Structure 1
């Protein structure tokens, strides 16, 4: 099943602005200020962060369930870092932080499955060109 999104930009880079949609229910405005100056609005890196957090949470939950220890919950935050590299804006790092409430699993297994989910989720695989993707996984008691 293909996933769909679209965007339109009007004007020049600094003064212009754009709108985007992702699927049927996600839409927003973006601008130079929202992307590079922490101004109001959204930016593509936020969409990547949300996609990565969602994909990882699903993949990790599936691995935990396959281990016979289905989670009560897996909550993941993602931070995407956009930095200049040789004068070009580049996603240089993604930090994943996840907390799982998982009855019956030990921390070593939890960590192993988290690492496998990070390596195997489709969004992680699509982002393989990012220089560094970190994972901080906490098993909540």
Structure 2
């Protein structure tokens, strides 16, 4: 299986803007900017998409594990919180690359 997505960035970091798309058509030309990443401007950002992907993947994996035990969940709700902290210049780099190698913690509860 192979999945693809693309991003285009125009301009400098502070005044530029970008958009990303996926050939599936689920999202197309979705705008993002420095303000949607690091300020409270409306819109999404790469880190939010990583959190959503992780939550979705985990929910499906948990459903598969429960199914292997002959259990069928009525509903699985997963929330992924991603926190970006300022880094020293020596550790500068892509936050998405760092999150893919991040420590993951989990709290789970069964609701009836």
Taking structure 1 as the reference length, the TM-score comes to 0.69
> Does structure 1 residue 137 correspond to structure 2 residue 96?
no
Instruction: Look up the match of 2:47.
Output: 45
Q: Distance in 2 between matches of 1:26 and 1:53?
A: 18
Spell out the pairing of 1:19-98 with structure 2 (5 A cutoff). Answer: 19-22=19-22, 23-27=24-28, 28-87=30-89, 88=92, 90=95
Instruction: Look up the match of 1:13.
Output: 13
Alpha-carbon offset, residue 36 of structure 1 = 0.9
Instruction: Look up the SS of the partner of 1:26 in the other structure.
Output: coil
Q: Distance in 1 between matches of 2:87 and 2:4?
A: 29
Alpha-carbon offset, residue 57 of structure 1 = 0.2
Structure 1: unaligned runs, 5 residues or longer = 95-126
Taking structure 2 as the reference length, the TM-score comes to 0.85
Question: Larger % of strand: which?
Answer: 1
Structure 1 residue runs of 4 or more that deviate by more than 2 Å after TM superposition: 87-91
Structure 2: unaligned runs, 5 residues or longer = none
Q: Distance in 2 between matches of 1:40 and 1:62?
A: 35
Q: Distance in 1 between matches of 2:2 and 2:88?
A: 34
Query: Taking CA–CA contacts closer than 8 Å with sequence separation of 6 or more, which of the two structures ends up with the larger relative contact order?
Result: 1
For the aligned residue pairs, the C-alpha RMSD in angstroms reads 1.8
